[in-house]
Every structure is written in C-alpha cells, then in structure tokens.
Amino acid sequence: MPATRQTHATDYYPEPAAANVVRIVPLGGAEEVGRNMFAVEVGATGDILVLDAGFQFVSEEGSPGVDYILPNTRYLEKNQARVRGVIITHGHLDHIGGIPFLLPRFGTPPIYTQRLTSVMIQRRQEEFPDVPKPEMIEVEIGQTVTIGSTRVKFFPVTHSIPDSMGVSIETPQGNVVITGDLKLEHDGTTPSEREQKTWGDLGKDKNIFFIADSTNAERDGFSIPEKRVNDTLENIIQTVKGRLIIGTFASQFERMVRIIQVAEKLGKKVVTEGRSIRNNIEIAQLTGLLKMDKGTIIPAQEIGDYPPDKILILTTGAQGEEFAALMRIATNQHKHITLNSRDTVVLSSSVIPGNENSVQRLKDNLYRHDVTLIHYRSSDVHSTGHGNAGELIWINQQVGATFFMPYYGYHSMLRCHARAAEQAGFPRDHIVIPDNGLVIDVEDGERLNVHKQKVPSSQMIVDGFTIGDIQEVVIRDRQSLAKDGMFVIVVSVNMKTGKLRKSPDIMSRGFIYLRESQGLLNEARLLIKKTVEDSTRNMNPIDLDYVKNNLADAVAGFLFARTNKAPLVLPMVIGM
Amino acid sequence: MPATRQTHATDYYPEPAAANVVRIVPLGGAEEVGRNMFAVEVGATGDILVLDAGFQFVSEEGSPGVDYILPNTRYLEKNQARVRGVIITHGHLDHIGGIPFLLPRFGTPPIYTQRLTSVMIQRRQEEFPDVPKPEMIEVEIGQTVTIGSTRVKFFPVTHSIPDSMGVSIETPQGNVVITGDLKLEHDGTTPSEREQKTWGDLGKDKNIFFIADSTNAERDGFSIPEKRVNDTLENIIQTVKGRLIIGTFASQFERMVRIIQVAEKLGKKVVTEGRSIRNNIEIAQLTGLLKMDKGTIIPAQEIGDYPPDKILILTTGAQGEEFAALMRIATNQHKHITLNSRDTVVLSSSVIPGNENSVQRLKDNLYRHDVTLIHYRSSDVHSTGHGNAGELIWINQQVGATFFMPYYGYHSMLRCHARAAEQAGFPRDHIVIPDNGLVIDVEDGERLNVHKQKVPSSQMIVDGFTIGDIQEVVIRDRQSLAKDGMFVIVVSVNMKTGKLRKSPDIMSRGFIYLRESQGLLNEARLLIKKTVEDSTRNMNPIDLDYVKNNLADAVAGFLFARTNKAPLVLPMVIGM
C-alpha cells in the first residue's frame, strides 16, 4: 500500500497542551458532511483521545476516480505516542469508514465502542487482510472507562442505527460532551422520558465544552419521529394488496428489523436483495437485535411459490445506484423478480444530495411497470437520523456547557446551528464555529484560546490502493481527459536530416469518433510533419524538447479551431 | 460544422397521415425535462407544424464534455417539404436553445412566436453567425394565423417569463390544444378571472387532443403564486437594513423588473452583475417591459458613493456556478464588492436537480462572511413556473378534450399527471403517456392509434462543433479516462531480432503521480521489455498486432494489481 506523505516545513504543530488546558482539534467533518474525526487533548493527563474515523463519499464530478476522502491525520501522527484510543460513536461509514486506512498511520490505537459498532468494524476489517487489526474494547452505556489516565463515560443517543452513543470526557476543569450523530425520541414537540433522563443527568455535571451534530440545523422545529415512520410502514405492509418492495439503506437496522417482524406477524415471506442488507441482517441476528423464524426469509427463486400479497422484498438501491438490486429489478435485469402494475414500491429513504439524477432514473424505470410508488415526499416512509434546530437547542440547554462548538456538517449548517443557539441565549463569544485543523484551547475551563494557525487539514484521498494528500495535478488531468479526451502523437525524427522517418502515428480516445474523422486526421498528419520539419530546419543539434513544444502548441490550436474541443495533446518525439 | 448523420435501414418513418388523421410525434421532452420538441401533422392539410426546439443541459457525470443534448430531427428531415413552420411557446432555453442547431437540418422553416421570444431568439442567433437566420413571424395573443393551410390560434398562459403562450391548432376533426410550460395565476385555491376567461373560452371549442405540462405533476394542490413571491421580495427590499444582494435566474423577467421598480421607488440604486442579467434587462427595456430612470442602475465601482441601505445588487449565479458573479462575490474575487456581516443575500431560485453540491459550496462561502442568507426553503422568495397537480387538473377539465397526453417531463412526472387526470375522471384509455419518437394518430377525432414502431428518437448531442447522434464509444472512453486516467507505452522493436531498440517510453495522465512512482515505472519498463521479447521469440515474421495485444493485457494486469486502478492502457509498437 504505497502511501504518499508530504510534510511541509510550514506545517503547524502546537506544543502539547498545558495542564490547565483542554484542547479540541477537528480534523474532518467540520466543513462537510462525512469524514468525521476530531481529537480531544487533555492537558492534565497528556492523553489524546480520537473521536470517530470516518470517510466521505465523493462525487465523480469534483474528483473523478477518487474513491473516498479521508481526514488528515498528520497531527495525530506527530503526537502518536500520546494517542490513547479511538472512540467510535456509532457504526455508519462516515464514522467508521476511515479506520483501516487511518489508524495504522498513528500506531493503530485501541478502539472503544459498543457491541454492534464493534461487530461492524470487525466485519469491515476482514476486507483489509493486510491491515493490522486494532484492539477492540467494547463499552456499555452508563459505564465509565479510563483511557490512558482520562475517565470517559458514555450515554445513549437516538440515531438511525442502534448502539449510537454520546461521550463525556472528564477533565479536572470540567467535562467535554460530544453528541455524535443524533436526534431526539419525541412525540412531535416533547422529548421522551428516556431523553429527559439522559440529558437531565448529563446537565448535572460541570460541562465546559459541548460538541454537537449540526446536519439538520438549517431546519426548524422537530424532525419526524421514527415511530411515525414505523407506523406508516406497518400500515403499508398490512394494507397493500399485491407484492410489496421496500428499498432502504442497509444501515437502517431498526427499520429493517421492524419491517421483518411485521411481515412475519402477518405471515408474509421476506426476500432480501443486496449484499449489504443480507450482511446487516446477519449482524442484527448475531447481536440479538433480530429474532425470527427460520422460514421467514426465502430465496428469490421461491417467490412464485407464494401469493403476491404474501411477499415482501427488502432491497438496497433506493438511491438509484446503477448496479444495486432495486435498479436491476426496475430494469428487468433480475432473474426472479419482474415488476407489474399490481406491485407497490416504497422508497424508504431520502435523496442524498448529488443523487437526484440517479433517483429520477430509478423512479422512471419503476413507473415503466406502472407500479404504485410511495416515497418520502408523498408519505412519512423515511425520517432523518439528525435532529432539527428545535431538538438541538433543547439538548444544548440541557447540557448547559460553558462553550459550544457546532460540528458535523457543512459550514452553512454549523453557522445556522450557532445562530439558533445564540438566539436561544447562548453567548455569542462562547461559540466557536470550527474549520478542519483549527486548534481550540479551553484554559482553566473558562477562557477560549483559538490558535491562529491550523494543523494540517488538507484532504487525504483513497485512490485505488493509494492513500495520501490529494494530487491536484492528477485530478486536473482526469477532469480534462473527461471533458475532451486525449490526442497522442508519436513521430520518429531522423536526427541528421530533421525529417520524419515515417508518417506520424496518432492515438486518440474520448475526443471525437476517429473513424468518421479521417479528413481531420490527414490534415493533422500534414500539420505535424510540417511543424516538425519547420522546427528542425537549420537546427544543429536538434533540440527534441523544442520540437515537442512546438508540436503540442500547433496541434492543440489546430484541433480546437476545427472541433471546439481541447483534448490533452501529448506529443512524443523519438530521435533516430 | 461537421455533422454526423447516420441513417439506419431499420429506421421507421410512417406514411403521411391520411385526411381523417391528426398525428402527434414527440421528438424530445417526453422522457426528460428539457429538449422540448414535437410535431403535429394535420392529415387534412398535409401540414407539419413543429412546437418548440429546445435543448437540455447535461450533467458532466453522465456524458462528460458534451455541451447539450438535442431532440432527434430525422423524422422532420425526412418530411422537410411538409414542415410549414416552428411555433415557439416561450423564450426559455429548453424551448429555444436548439434552434440554431436543429432548424437548418430541416430547411430552416419560419418561426412563429410573440415579441419577447422573438427578440431573445434573434439575440441568440447572433452567436451563430454562420447559421442561416430563420424568418421571424411575430404573432399576438388572440390572433389566428394560417401556417401552410392550417389555422392556428394563440392564447396567453402564466409562466415565469412574459409572452408565454399556449397554442390551439384547428383541424377538420377538432382542435389540438398545447399548453406550453405554465402554471395558473391564482390566490392559493381559485384561478384568477383572467385564467377563468382564457380557459373557459378554449373549452367552448371542440378539442380532440390536449397536450400539457407535467413538470410539477408530482406535487399536489396549487403552487405558490408569483404574487406572494413578489410581495415577499418587496417586503425584504423595504425592510432590510444593509446592502441587499439578490441572486436569481436572468430568465425571470417579471421578477427582475419588479425588483428594479421597487428599488427605484425606494430610492435605491441597482447594480447588475452577470452578462445574462444585463442582456435580459436590455431586452426588457427594448420590448417595453421595463421603464426606469437613467440613474437607477449604477456601475459596481460606484457602490461606495451610496450608503449600504441604498444599494441593491442583482446577480446571476444562484445555482453556485463556479464562474458566475455571485460565486465570485462570495469568494472575494469581485473587484468592487466585498461581503460583510451587515449584508443580506437572497437566493431567489430553487435548486436545479444536480446542482445541490454547487449550491452548498455557494452557501458555505456566503456564510463565511457572516451574511444573513434568505433562500426558498426559509422564505417564499421563489416560485416555480410550473403548475402543481391541482392546477393541471383544473386546466384539463376546462379544456375538456377527448384525448389527453401528459408531456414536458420525466416519465415519472407524465405517469403522475396521467394518474391525477384519471382520478379526476378522465377515461384511462383516452390517455397516452408518450415516449420520444412515439407516433400517435387520432382518427376522425375519436379513435386513438398508437403506432407500434417509433421514429428515430436517439439523442443528438452538441460536442464542441459536432452535432450528431451520440457516439457512445467516445463517451465511454471519456468516463474511463476520468476515473483512472491513461497509460501510453511506445516501444520500438527491431523487426529482425525482435528486441527493443531502446528503453520503452511511457506517458501517463490522470492515473497516479508519476514523479512519486519511479519504482512502479521501472518495474513496468522491465515487464514491457520482457513481454515484447517473449512474444517475438521464434516469431517470423513478427506480428506487431499480436505483440501489442499481449503488451496491453500484461501492463493493464500489472497496473491494476499494483494500484487497484484501471487506466486506459494504449500500447504503440513501432517496427524498425
């Protein structure tokens, strides 16, 4: 696994925090949704604790070919000896996805997390057999654990995956409270008793710094409670006449469990489609989240053995992913499932920004079969895992910390979260809106000191097997290749006479359709010959680099004038 | 302008419609939003009328480098002699954008349209000096015009650009009514008197076929009335304390006019940013839509001469386009405008699907300046130009046609429009949900005959100067280049000995960062040498194609194993 590491002389690494300082350093997730990771450095103990190690999916458009974006770990590498552990708040990929890539870079410290998250991390680790396995320390809600010399306690939060937790890190100056991703369990306006208890208890501590989810801070009020989604889905499962196909995220454990249980109660058979759904159902059984009869899940080829209203198909691909099960079903590529007008399809998910076009394609293909389609815009079949501003403010007030940092989200979300808190009475100068790499010191639990310089925070990428700082030149070339393709010229020049030894060779891809452009090619060949021979005339010795540059300019200009496209022109001049 | 034309032996072109037949042929816009164009062939007169000639913007991801997608005009080319005119319903690019590319392909027939649309078309035509200018015939609302031997009348519709019109084509069997893009003017539940009059009058005709906008058919009820948007904007302009920056679409003529008039009334100066806004304000003045004092619009460099609350900046770029004015302002690249926390920015537009990420970048950059941001999710500062299902059904019932074709939109939109009509009582078997290329005959005004075969309807693209059928192989290469780049190998082989004459040359772009991969390159060179010399051993004569194929396979396999990337491997073997 070749890793590109660049250390710049100008990189900033602060001295270790003094004993009266608690330091917070966001490394990712403060300027985006995804690649969540930050460090808490407790000056009094010298310990550094890392919270989460996620990655971010990237759009093909912005960074073609790049698989994932990772947080920058150079600050942790530099301080590796003091990193005591990584706490993972829950099992979503934007919190665990970076583990195999990142942890080896700073000594693979032990991971502290709950049962389900631990199983998910270990499953995923199997895909990376060459990467050292971190020690897994399973913690429980309510437990207090000492990591290094720092005491840490865990509390339950409501999110779209079980075993989600918040974290409170104890320091001599007071506690640092971290929500992880969360929403509230509520009835529309009032948090449940369970939430009141959790947050009420937390509020009794002396909390100096509060770090909270901002993903839905731009939305007012309270989010749709998951209970309403479950009720809606249960009602659909009960009343739909024909076959029912439900597309959802495999990470929605509780929803999947609920759907399977309701189906079982109604004597329906469940067909599961998609590796991640099968995988997560297995994990749900393994961890005791799902108990069901042996015969409830049937293979797709047995669909015909049951009446349509006894069939429920649970599938991945509600985002319109090209090769996912639901798209294959919609486009008649599934061996055993063909849609018809008596089928009902539920898309139990929202549309992730950037996926609008693929979801549109999915909907169009589904409607081609005249199915009934139910989605989150038409019915409450999905709820977010992130609380709206109303929930966030309620939580903030319960915790009652001295300082507040909105985190987890794009800058606009953090900004709106900060404004909402301010409007609810949180003093403006006690709020820090972070960037990645920002170093925030809380001194004596009562003064904020934000360092002027940032620690390294440029994105690191996973590109094939390569992990490293993003190579802008490579990405730029890809973007240019994507737009107009390329045009390679190979000429052999007689170094004595400066004449071409044969007609130039041309290779082109992604530019224009060459078979139908013979005229253009012939003109290009003439131009190449002329350019080379004009350049070499009276030149002694022949400077091939000069010839090459002339050639690139002449051909690029010619192609642009004739086609209005600017392919990457790559001349190779071989002297003989 | 090299045009790629392919005619396939299997292409379907129906015989001209019989005298008792009215034929509808959608050529674009029936499976997408954009590239609107369809033909109405009146059997009794032999005339073919074309409705609109739009293009569709495409996402970089799906078709990298392609500029626009156009409807397929081969059916019109084949029947060029009978095409009597092109009717343009309004001036948006998805209705006029294809004109310079498409009309010359079928004889550049005259264009019938209203004043503003005509000016916009002619302005745009100036960008294409080599393209023949179509004859422009300006029509007026209420007028009946004879095109060929067919009588056509025009009626006003409400849309987000002035001079939008619907069309009623008279035939001996009854009228074909086309809405163009539209919504209703209404107070929330009741259409205005003007709408009642227009549609009531239309309903008195014998209408056999109704073609209607489906863009918002997936939304229930009535859309937000434009009046509410204007009131909201007026209120913001009046009450905002500091500078006001409004980002909107330049095509929103009436909204721009309203904003300028309100600003003028309040003694504010208006700064316009963006070529399309300046251009359209000029058109608005030219056509009498906008009258204002000379000093109302000031250049950006005079901003400092006025107090902040007397400044209103009207700008393009609310979709986050990288080089548009608003993004330049947000990223401190504007010479005269620097944002600060006393500024208010209004994004008076919705987010076009596919633009979510760029709008997010825009919002983040704006919030960096701590501005107050108002957008369509937080306030009624934008309204769609397309009616919701409630409006569409009301219109449908007023027209009272025998047959109905939902049109203008993705398949899912047409399907939902059809279902809404059916639920409102329209007989299911009198509704046609079209695809592009479908040939729909109405016989004697009372029987529907949908042809089994479709006329050519594959997308045509504008790619640089090339217009033609999409070359899938070129697009595929671009996608592959975008993902993993390319790897060109040039080897010179001694045709007698089969040995390499020198170390192989390698050129690569968009793959990995070569400067940091010297080890990999050296290994690749050894592998290339070995593969060539193994392939040519005992071969006589040497088959260079065979060597080339071996080389491509060996190198591709090696690179994938080492990097997990699959660049396009292009070997060139030169025999000497």
d(CA A415, CA B427): 53
pLDDT at residue number A5: 45
Q: Supply the angle between the helices B226-239 and B253-265 in degrees, to the nearest 10.
A: 30
Contact assignment for A481 to B479 by CB distance below 8 Å: no
CA-CA distance, B123 to B284, in Å (whole number)?
13
Could you tell me which residues come within 8 angstroms of residue A132 by beta carbon, excluding any fewer than 6 positions away?
A103, A104, A108
Is B484–A65 a contact, with Cβ atoms under 8 angstroms apart? yes
Q: What is the SS3 assignment for B256?
A: helix
At A116, the pLDDT band (50, 70, 90 cuts) reads very high
Q: Is A458:A4 a contact under the CB 8 Å cutoff?
A: no
- Quote the CA–CA distance of B64 and B474 in Å, as a whole number: 10
Residue A448 CA to residue B424 CA, distance in Å, equals 64
C-alpha dihedral over B414, B415, B421, B423, to 10 degrees?
A: -160
Which of A65, A357, A562 is closest, CB to CB, to B354? A357
Cα-Cα end-to-end distance for chain B:
39
| Sign of the four-CA dihedral B508, B512, B517, B522 | negative
Is the dihedral angle over the CA atoms B542, B543, B548, B553 positive or is it negative?
negative
Asked if residue A356 lies in contact with residue A388, where contact means CB atoms within 8 angstroms, the answer is: no
- Alpha carbon distances (Å) from B149 to A14, A163, A295, B440, B476: 84, 74, 71, 21, 47
Q: How close does chain A come to B66, measured CA to CA in Å?
A: 7
Residues of B whose CB is below 8 A from A510: 64-65, 474-475, 477-478, 480-481
| Grouped pLDDT means (10 residues each) for chain B, 576 residues | 48 96 97 95 98 84 70 95 98 95 95 97 92 96 96 96 97 98 92 97 98 96 91 94 93 91 95 94 93 94 95 93 90 94 94 84 95 89 93 98 97 97 97 98 97 91 67 74 86 88 85 78 92 87 87 91 86 84
- The helix-helix angle for B518-536 and B544-563 (nearest 10°) equals 150
Q: DSSP secondary-structure letter at B293?
A: -
3 state SS for B65-78: CCCEEECCCHHHHH
Which residue among B356, B465, B477 places its CB closest to the CB of A356? Answer: B356
pLDDT of A473 > 90? The answer is: no
DSSP calls for B427-449: -GGGB----TT--EEEETTTEEE
Chain A hits for B562, CB-CB cut-off 8 Å, are 465
Q: Is the pLDDT of residue A59 over 70?
A: no
- What is the reported pLDDT for B3? 40
Chain B nearest CA to A471, separation (Å): 7
Instruction: State the DSSP H helix or E strand holding residue A152, giving kind and residue range, or none if neither.
Output: strand A150-156
pLDDT of residue B244: 97
Distance CA B100, CA B97 (A): 8
Q: Would the pLDDT of A290 be above 70? A: yes
Report DSSP state, residue A480: H
Q: Give the pLDDT band (50/70/90) at residue A312.
A: very high
Gap between the Cα atoms of A56 and A459, Å rounded: 10
Q: What percent of chain A has pLDDT over 90?
A: 70
- Mean pLDDT, to the nearest integer, of A481-490? 86
Beta strands in B241-292 (DSSP E): 244-248, 269-273
Cα B206 from chain centre:
34
Count Cα atoms within 13 angstroms, Cβ side, for B175: 22
Q: What is the mean pLDDT of residues A199-227?
A: 95
Residues 6+ apart with CB under 8 A from A152: A49, A87, A112, A144, A145, A146, A167, A168, A169, A170
Q: Is the pLDDT of residue A375 over 50?
A: yes
Alpha-carbon gap: B474 to the closest alpha carbon of chain A (Å) = 4
Q: How far is CA A483 from CA A61, A486, B1, B337, B567, in A?
A: 11, 9, 19, 32, 16
Of B65, B353, B373, the CB nearest to A360: B353
A400: left (phi over 0), alpha (psi -120 to 50) or beta: left
Distances (CA, A) of B215 to A435, B196, B391: 40, 22, 12
Report how far apart, in Å, the C-alpha atoms of B73 and of each of A295, B13, B181, B461 are. 56, 12, 21, 12
**Chain B residues touching A412 at Cβ < 8 A:** 360, 363-364, 366-367, 373
**Mean pLDDT score of chain A, rounded to an integer?**
91
From A60's Cα to the closest Cα of chain B, the distance in A is: 6
Q: What is the pLDDT of residue B62?
A: 56
Residue in A353, A360, A410 nearest the CB of B412: A360
Question: Among A457-471, A543-557, B191-205, B285-299, which is the least confidently predicted range?
Answer: A457-471
B576 vs B493: CA distance, rounded Å? 6
Q: Give the model confidence (pLDDT) of A325-363 as tens digits.
A: 999 999 999 999 999 999 999 999 888 877 888 899 999
Residues of B in contact with A485 (CB under 8 A): 65, 474, 477-478, 481
> Which one, of B86, B94, B114, lies nearest residue B288 by Cα?
B114
- Active-site positions of B read 213, 386
Query: Dihedral of CA B492/B494/B499/B501: which sign?
Result: negative
Q: Contact at 8 Å (CB) between B327 and B365?
A: yes
CA dihedral A106, A108, A110, A111 (to 10 degrees): 90
The mean per-residue pLDDT over the stretch A66-87 comes to: 93
Closest CA in chain B for residue A492 = B574
- For A126-144, how does the pLDDT look when each residue is reduced to its tens digit (9 = 90+)? 989 889 999 999 999 999 9
Distance between CA A229 and CA A162 in Å, rounded? 16
Contacts of A477 in chain B (CB under 8 A): 485, 509-510
Mutation target vs A (from B215, B366, B367, B481; most A CBs, 10 A cutoff): B481
Q: Report d(CA B70, CA B77) in Å as an integer.
A: 14
pTM of the model: 0.85
Closest by alpha carbon to A441, among A25, A11, A13, A47? A25
For residue B490, which residues of chain A lie inside 8 Å, CB to CB? 490, 572, 574
CA-based nearest distance A100→chain B, Å: 16
Among B1, B220, B412, B429, which would you mutate to test the A interface (most chain A Cβ atoms within 10 Å of its Cβ)? B412
Residue B538 is predicted with a pLDDT of: 82
Find all residues with CB under 8 Å of A543, minimum gap 6, and list them: none
Q: Which residues fall within 8 angstroms of residue A243, CB to CB, at 6 or more apart?
A: A308, A309, A311, A312, A313, A342, A343, A344
Considering CB atoms only, which of B412, B473, B516 is closest to A513? Answer: B473
